[in-house]
Amino acid sequence: MAPLDRLLSVMISHRADQLLLREDEATVAPVEAQTPVTFRCEGSDEVFSVRAMLAFPNQTFGHHTVSHSGNPMRRIAAVLAGVWCAVLFFALPVVAQQAPASATPIAVSLPNTVQRVLVSKVTHVTYRLDIALPAGFDTTTRKYPVFLMLDGNLAFASTLGIYTGLGLGNGVPPMILVGVGYPGNDPRVFTPDYVASRTRDYTPTQEKTTGVVGLAPKSGEARAFLTFIRDELIPFLEAEYRTDPADRGLGGHSLGGLFTTYALLNEPALFTRYWVGSPSLWWDNGVSFSWIAPAKAAAVKPHGRAYITVGSEESDVMVVPMKKLDVSLRANFSNLSVGAQVFPEETHVSVIGAAISRAFRFLYGNYGRPSILLGPKETAGYVGAWKSADGQQVTLVAKGKGMELQQSMVGKKVSMVLLAADRDHLFSRAWDGTVTAERDGAGKVVRLRSDVGGPPTVFERVRK
């Protein structure tokens, strides 16, 4: 049996051995363990627990937790080392007791997810809600940000995967993800009934032009759908899942992007984070742009953060209006931070995954985060060597418009550029998290708190 086959056999057995892989010795030692089998790879000062053939540091997936020890600023190298452990394992013979594979296939499910059904009294439509809860949700009383993703039947699972991956580097906070869709599990997703439902709900006007992909008779109910979200869905989520009313997000693609634009400009009090993906701004001769002036004059104006995306191969019908929306939002709403990206060589469909990832980084992480230039005196307050209680040591040096964090890793010097959000907060655009300065009574930086790429760690200045 090939090593990969042996691995799969071990992974699905009811009771298997735990394999201890040592990178330096390249040996395999079996230790009794409960299913699912765990592989632990040790190398240098990093310790990994690997589940399901992958190594990821300090990340919780449902009730399965994987972790590493060592410098929290070494997360990038840790992930690479974890991948090396997996590669090393495949190359080795598996020395383990193998139990026979189950004869009955087991359905795949997403950890920490539930599915609910909500029947609207406003639209008289039944909606399917796919809900992913953050790890530890049942053990806390805190309120969490919530992000609503339209076209949940298609986008929920992929969005959850992207969100989970970004969480490896603290790129997104713990939050509640909600896919808003319609009943049914047809693998085609975009069945005629599904298309009719989303067109009805996501479009703001009755399309008068005949022949618009056969959807005209079922369009124009965006106001009713937004009322459902405001008066029924949001109260339901707040009551059932402790969502934070001050931190709601909404995202959608294509007609979903059109509806997200509609919500942004017509009910700006509902959300503070928006992903507007390949919006169908061509709808009804560009009716979306007629909402700009009333939104600007309204008492509550669009605010928060919005990220607009499109693929370069979507043609001028999509790309030109998207760029126009970007310019219009920036020019008219000073309290709305707007980001936009035309993804090269991507189509209307292929752009979705990259767009969601980039949107989450902009809406919740350091991508697109504005920075300032610190003066020489402020920069000097950070420069020097810093050490944590567990022996992790980093050095900050002035460089360009910011600073460079340097440290030794596996015998080599590695570095990371840090920019200043303000005089007390530094961040990296390459890795999420923040370095926060603590000052004494005289205003001197005496301590750094960092969650860049890992759990919060305190660094004290190294005395000469």
CATH number at residue 202: 3.40.50.1820
Predicted confidence (pLDDT) per residue in 211-270, tens digit: 555 555 689 999 999 999 999 999 999 999 999 999 999 999 999 999 999 999 999 999
Would you say residue 82 lies in a domain? Answer: yes
Do 401 and 437 lie in a common domain?
A: yes
Would you say residue 104 lies in a domain? Answer: no
Asked which of 312, 333, 364 is the last residue of a domain, the reply is 364
Query: Residue 10: is it exposed, middle or buried by C-beta count within 10 angstroms (0-12/13-18/19+)?
Result: buried
Q: Would you say residue 85 has pLDDT above 50? A: no
CA distance 117 to 95: 47
Residue 215 has what pLDDT? Answer: 59
More confident residue, 154 or 452: 154
Q: pLDDT-derived band of residue 204, with 50, 70 and 90 as boundaries?
A: very high
Q: 278 with 348: CB under 8 angstroms?
A: yes
Find the largest Cα–Cα distance for the chain. Answer: 78
Q: 254 with 235: CB under 8 angstroms?
A: no
Do 79 and 124 lie in a common domain?
A: no
Do 312 and 400 lie in a common domain?
A: no
Q: 261 with 275: CB under 8 angstroms?
A: no
With H, G, I as helix, E, B as strand and everything else as coil, classify residue 356: helix
Would you say residue 209 lies in a domain? Answer: yes
Torsion sign over Cα 162, 163, 164, 169: positive
Would you say residue 101 lies in a domain? Answer: no
Q: Would you say residue 33 has pLDDT above 50? A: no
Would you say residue 370 lies in a domain? Answer: no
Would you say residue 313 lies in a domain? Answer: yes
Residue 30 belongs to domain spanning? 3-91
Q: Rg for the chain (alpha carbons), in Å?
A: 25
Beta strands 412-422 and 425-427 are antiparallel
Tally of domains within the chain = 3
Do 191 and 284 lie in a common domain?
A: yes
What value does the mean pLDDT take over residues 133-162? 96
Do 191 and 301 lie in a common domain?
A: yes
Do 9 and 40 lie in a common domain?
A: yes
Would you say residue 371 lies in a domain? Answer: no
Do 62 and 170 lie in a common domain?
A: no
Predicted confidence (pLDDT) per residue in 396-444, tens digit: 999 887 899 998 877 888 888 999 999 999 998 877 889 999 999 999 9
Do 15 and 118 lie in a common domain?
A: no
With H, G, I as helix, E, B as strand and everything else as coil, classify residue 55: strand
Do 267 and 392 lie in a common domain?
A: no
Residue 211 has what pLDDT? Answer: 52
CATH of the domain at 417: 2.40.128.50
Do 124 and 49 lie in a common domain?
A: no
Residue type, 451: D
Predicted confidence (pLDDT) per residue in 312-371, tens digit: 999 999 999 999 999 999 999 999 999 999 999 999 999 999 999 999 999 998 888 889
Do 341 and 277 lie in a common domain?
A: yes
Would you say residue 102 lies in a domain? Answer: no
Do 396 and 454 lie in a common domain?
A: yes
